[in-house]
Each structure stands twice: as C-alpha cells, then as structure tokens.
Amino acid sequence: MLVLGLETSCDETGVALYDSERGLLADALFSQIDLHRVYGGVVPELASRDHVKRMLPLIREVLEQAGRAPADIEAIAYTAGPGLVGALLVGASCAQALAFAWNIPAIGVHHMEGHLLAPMLEEQPPQFPFVALLVSGGHTQLVRVDGIGRYELLGESLDDAAGEAFDKTAKLIGLNYPGGPEIARLAEQGTPGRFVFPRPMTDRPGLAFSFSGLKTFALNTWQQCRDAGDDGEQTRCDLSLAFQQAVVETLTIKCKRALKQTGLKRLVIAGGVSANKALRASLEQMLAGIKGQVFYARPKFCTDNGAMIAYAGCQRLLAGQRQDLAISVQARWPMEQLPAI
C-alpha cells in the first residue's frame, strides 16, 4: 500500500511517501523556524498560513522524488492531533479533500504515536514489547508499548516538557529558538562542573517528571552571573552544559527505573529531544550496563516529519482501520485512547 503522509501539527510541514512493501520512498520538509525566530517561539496563525503555502508544492516534490503519479497513491495519513488546531486543520482538510477527489481513504494519526513508531523506519527496528521515552516540545512520557495502540502510560511530566525546558532555558540566556539544538551546541564548549543543576524528582520513587524548576534555577544562576558582569559566551556554554547534564541524567534515571519496573530490556526514545547526542550516549551506557538495547530514529525523523505519519497511518490502514470524511482534529488527545490493532 502506497501512503502519502502529511504532518502539520506545529511549525514544520512534513510530507512523505511510504510503501508497505518497499519502505520509505521519499520525504520532504519545510521548517518554519526562520519565520518564528524573531518572536522567540511559534506564532500559531503564522504557522497555519505557512502550512497552506507549503503543502501542495511539497506533495509534488515527494511524488517527483519517488517517480510516482498521484494515481499511484492508495491512501493518505495526516496528523489529527495533538497540536495547534489551526495548523492541524490545514493538514486534515488537505488530506480529506485529496482523498475525496482521488477516491481513496484518509486516516487521522496521533502525532505522538507517529514519533513513537519513527524508529521502525530504521534498519534494525525494535520489537514489541518495549519501554518508550517520548521527549518532544510538548510531551515527556514514559510508556510501556506492547504493540501498536497498546500503550500504558507509566509516567509523565507534571509541568514543562523536556523540549519546552530546553527552549525556555535557551531563551532566558539569550539563545535562538528552538533552544534544544542551540543548548546542545553550546554545551560542547562548556566547562564541566562549573555549575551543578538539581536532578528534579529523582530522590523519590515514581516515574513522574518536573522540569519547570530547572528553568528557574537557570534564571537565578544567569542573573547572579550578570550581576557579577560574567554574562559572556563562556558562561552561556557552561550553563548550557550544566542544564543539559541535569536533563539527561534525570531522564536516564527514570528510564532505568521504568525498565526495572516493567522487567523489559528494550528502550525506544522518540521526539525532538531524542536527537540529543548526550542523551543518546547516556542511555546507551545505561542500557549496556543492564545488557539491554536502545533504539532511536535518524536525527531528521526525531523531530517532526511526514515519514512517521505515513508509517503510523499505513499500519492502521493495513489493519483495516478507516474513517469518514469529517475534518476533525484534537488539540489534546491522550495516546492511551487509541484503539489497538
């Protein structure tokens, strides 16, 4: 089955063509980062308008890349939530209009299920069951995964998501949006041990996270440095390193706990923050210690993309799931509500 995937939940227009027999045939992405950078974050109305502009040219681009014609497409998968409603509606209406015109099915995909399944596009995909750490701009969750749609939430953030903490902390110290890659870049030049941030909620049992305190800790430390006239590039690097180490160690401790609690040895990390090299290295070390294995997608499929939506939608379509032509999207949508296949 040849599936066209459309992703428009936030500030990236992602389009891909996935074939259930041959795998991923083509993918294209337009990132709106430059559009939103001057505002220091995503402006929803601008995001929606830009998705409208990019969608059809990107669809033509993937068809050309794959050497396929519109008539070859057998189904369309689009992100139906969670995300920005205006942005989601662009992908949903485009998908439903094309599906109606081409007389093929369309299916709404859960954005976080897309992220969760993105490592399945790699050469050595993980086998079920596994523990998944979902770390994006909007979510930080530990999930036990027994199959597609068989999700048990083990723990999640009580406040900011990990990616959100990266973005907010970066903004506080004067770095560009999105902050995750910026902090990771500066951390490479950081002085180990100059600042030490807390590891929130690791001193008590459980799998919940809380990252908003780290942002406040960063703000106070940065203000002290500024008062002392020490707010140059090196201090930004040192703060970036200390912040990143705190997030990485906290996530590693909780992943280890989740594996112990479930008795599983396979860990999947997905979502934008899973592109972070320090996080990957720390988890690989931890998994090596317990003779387990960690799986993740190539960096461009960690952040938002159309390939993960095409893949997830294809699996559900192959299992016979169908939906009507209604254009409905959801800003909030717990992943545990998804049907199993």
Q: Does 137 participate in binding ligand KG4 (rule CB under 6 A)?
A: yes
Q: Does 167 participate in binding ligand KG4 (rule CB under 6 A)?
A: yes
Among 42-50, 135-143, 213-221, 259-267, the segment contacting ligand KG4 (CB under 6 A): 135-143
Here the contacts of 142-147 (C-beta below 8 Å, separation 24 or greater) are: 142/207, 142/254, 142/255, 142/258, 143/116, 143/335, 144/258, 144/262, 144/264, 145/116, 145/268, 147/340, 147/341
Written as six digits, the tokens of 90 are 């662009």
In the set 246, 255, 275, 309, which binds ligand KG4 (CB under 6 A)? Answer: 275
Total number of residues that touch Zn ion (CB under 5 A): 2
**Site track 248-287 with Zn ion (rule: CB under 5 A), x = hit:** ----------------------------------------
181 binds, among ligand KG4, Zn ion, none (CB under 5 to 8 A by kind): ligand KG4
For ligand KG4, the closer CB: 164 or 238 = 164
Start-to-end Cα distance in the chain: 17
In the set 4, 184, 251, 338, which binds ligand KG4 (CB under 6 A)? Answer: 184
Nearest Cα neighbor of 339 from 318, 321, 327 is 321
Shortest distance in whole angstroms from residue 218 CB to ligand KG4: 14
**Site track 106-125 with ligand KG4 (rule: CB under 6 A), x = hit:** ---------x----------
In the set 170, 248, 304, 310, which binds Zn ion (CB under 5 A)? Answer: 304
Q: Does 303 participate in binding ligand KG4 (rule CB under 6 A)?
A: yes
Q: Does 50 participate in binding ligand KG4 (rule CB under 6 A)?
A: no
Among 35-43, 84-92, 148-156, 302-310, the segment contacting Zn ion (CB under 5 A): 302-310
Q: Does 178 participate in binding ligand KG4 (rule CB under 6 A)?
A: yes
Shortest distance in whole angstroms from residue 302 CB to Zn ion: 9
Q: Does 136 participate in binding Zn ion (rule CB under 5 A)?
A: yes
